[in-house]
Amino acid sequence: MTVRRLFIAGATCPACQLEDKLQLCRDGEREWIECVRCGYQDVRPTEVTMKEPDAPDDSGVVKFKP
């Protein structure tokens, strides 16, 4: 299977801190990011967990403070 690679504009590598070196790689169902400079790799999470709101109200409304 062919790996499709797409550069992520403006992204900074967490390992080497260089900008515009990360690419999104896809191989069928699998997705990961990879740095072309230092070789850093990380897998995209398959589950997203929500942080519990600090307020006792669990309505899910996000309030922005000026």
Place of tokens 């072309």: 36
DSSP codes joined into one string, 32-66: EEEETTT--EEEPPSS--PPPPSSS--S-------
Place of tokens 């070196």: 21
β-strand partners of 42: 33
Instruction: State residue 28's pLDDT score.
Output: 86
Instruction: Check whether 64 has a pLDDT greater than 80.
Output: no
Rounded to whole angstroms, how far apart are CA atoms 43 and 37?
17
Instruction: Enter the pTM of the model.
Output: 0.63
Provide the token pair at 60: 């899910």
Q: What is the mean pLDDT of the chain?
A: 82
Instruction: Check whether 52 has a pLDDT greater than 80.
Output: no
Determine the average pLDDT of the residues in 18-22: 94
